[in-house]
Amino acid sequence: MSRIVLTTIGSLGDLHPMIAIALELRDRGHEILFASTKDHQTRVEALGLKFSPIHPDPTTVDEVEMLTRMMDLQKGTERVIRDYILSCLRQTYEELFAIAQNADFIVSHEIVYATPLVAETLKLKWASLAMAPGAFFSAYDPLVLPPFPVLAKLRVFGAPVNRLVMDFARFVTRDWGEPIHQLRRELSLPPVGNPIIDDKFSPYLVLAIFSSVMGLPQPDWAANTVITGFPFYDGNVSNYQCPSELQQFLDEGEPPIVFTLGSAAVLAAGNFYEASLEAVQNLNRRAVLLIGNNPPPENLPESAIAIDYVPFSLIFPKAGAIVHQGGIGTSAQALRAGKPTIVVPYSHDQPDNAARLERLGTSRTIPRQRYTAERVTKELRELLNNPKYAAKASEVGEIIRSENGVQVACDAIEKQL
């Protein structure tokens, strides 16, 4: 039995894959120590996992204001990294250092930038988790940069041109990692290059915890990368009681269109639900709106129902189509359900995920700033009336359901122990 620290920062889309891996490692006999932000403590401890909080501490700020700033297309990613994560790097390092004192291995989300410093100081082996293909900044499979989506048009020119695009990303982020460089100097650790893009992954193991339908290994990926498939976890769905009004709604008519913004973008919803509701009324279709803590739209018709939360693994298979923000966790659940989608990307990895799903043939994309009832009506009509989307989504769903991301990830971790 080994003592393994698992650490992550972020939304439920970042937390749930880590929980899936933690539970499997525990079932295999390992002692699990979970390190994450305070807002996840109750959820993790309810599963019987040991939990230690680390910074940043989202419970000390206005959640809606914070998420609104972080979901900005132009500045959102920079604010998450510089203002949220790296502003308290020293605290995160000290907390994680104390947690990992007697550990045998660390499994870390790539944005826990304190992990490499802790692992090097304690001389611990560790594994990085890459949540989505865009994490690799590959010139052979370039990502959509949220502040500069127009650069994605250069993709067709191949690696030589797109290498320049990735170099541009390195230039833009050149100063973001200064807190990391400073702390490395204080700890007498050797210097690194750009820790936001290049020098962020483990030299031992990189777990690409997504399906190969989203992205295949590229020549400029880390050589020690393993694509695992999605490690699914969706809460204790076996004990979930579907609200009676929702169950009745689902039983009474054709499969509805499900609208959701995941667990983060929902706090900065804007006009999403109002425009969505008007669009389905234009199309005479039924709708389920997953609204989180937002108030339901006024004058909700009988053809629509607004619910704060339903596990995606339960509601998505009952949908006729899904409209979502493009977070990797939501995208994975939609793919597994085998349903066609429209993606409304907000920021971070979402524009890139949207582009990948569109190339896959399961989805269409509406830019967030163009999400109007007229545009949604048009895109949904094309998605629902063109059978190629449903056929491709069904085909991909079978592939996703045949994968076992949790098992592959845990097998790779155990090989390192």
- pLDDT bracket for residue 273 (50, 70, 90): very high
How far apart CA 233 and CA 292 sit, in angstroms, is 19
Query: Could you tell me which of 270, 266, 303 has the C-alpha nearest to residue 288?
Result: 303
Residue 26's H or E segment, with its range, is: helix 12-27
How confident is the model over 164-193, as a mean pLDDT? 97
Output 61 or 7, whichever has higher pLDDT.
Answer: 7
61 has pLDDT over 80: no
Q: What pLDDT shows up at residue 59?
A: 86
Give the length of the chain.
417
- Is it the case that residue 67 has pLDDT exceeding 90? no
pLDDT score for 299:
85
296: left (phi over 0), alpha (psi -120 to 50) or beta: beta
Q: What percent of the chain has pLDDT over 70?
A: 100
pLDDT digit string (tens) for 286-344? 999 999 999 998 889 999 999 999 999 999 999 999 999 999 999 999 999 999 999 99
Query: Looking at residue 255, what is its pLDDT?
Result: 97
**How many whole angstroms separate alpha carbon 307 and alpha carbon 243?**
9
**What sign for the dihedral angle of Cα 193, 196, 198, 200?**
positive
What is the spatial distance between Cα 41 and Cα 64, in angstroms, rounded to a whole number?
20
Query: Could you tell me which residue, 60 or 158, shows the higher pLDDT?
Result: 158
% residues pLDDT > 90 (the chain): 91
| Residue showing tokens 């990797």 | 328
Sheet holding 321-324, edge to edge: 304-307, 287-290, 257-260, 321-324, 341-343, 363-365
Q: What is the pLDDT of residue 225?
A: 98
Q: What pLDDT, on the 0 to 100 scale, is given for residue 65?
A: 87
Whole-number pLDDT of residue 391: 98
**CA separation for the pair 238, 228 (Å, rounded):** 25
Poorest-confidence range of 114-128, 198-212, 291-305? 291-305
**pLDDT grade, residue 280 (50/70/90)?**
very high
- Sorted by sequence, the CB contacts under 8 Å of residue 195 that are 6+ apart come out as 113, 116, 177, 180, 181
Per-residue pLDDT averaged across 390-399, rounded? 98
Instruction: Provide the pLDDT for residue 235.
Output: 86
Give me the residue label for tokens 């082996």: 125
Report the range out of 152-156, 181-185, 220-224 with the highest average pLDDT: 181-185
Tokens of 137: 């900044």
- Which of 136, 345, 166, 361 has the alpha carbon at shortest distance from 227? 136
Determine the straight-line distance between the first and last CA of the chain, rounded to whole angstroms. Answer: 10
Contact between residue 58 and residue 29 where contact means Cβ atoms under 8 Å apart: no
**DSSP 3-state of 21:** helix
Residue 83 CB-half CA count within 13 A: 12
Going along 131-224, which residue ranges are E strands? Answer: 205-208
DSSP 358-417: HHHTSEEE--GGG--HHHHHHHHHHHHH-HHHHHHHHHHHHHHHH--HHHHHHHHHHHH-
User: Could you read off the pLDDT of 70-106 as tens digits, one per residue?
Assistant: 889 899 999 999 999 999 999 999 999 999 999 999 9
Mean pLDDT over each residue of the chain, to the nearest integer: 96
Of the listed ranges 62-76, 108-122, 386-400, the one predicted with least confidence: 62-76
Distance CA 354, CA 393 (A): 14
What residue ranges in 185-326 does DSSP mark as E strands?
205-208, 225-227, 257-260, 287-290, 304-307, 321-324
How confident is residue 64, by pLDDT bands cut at 50, 70 and 90? Answer: confident
d(CA 276, CA 260): 10
Tell me what pLDDT residue 344 has.
98
**Confidence at residue 239, expressed as pLDDT on a 0 to 100 scale:** 83
Short-list 189, 3, 204, 7, CA closest to 95? 7
Domains of the chain (ranges plus CATH)?
Answer: 3-231+403-416 (3.40.50.2000), 237-402 (3.40.50.2000)
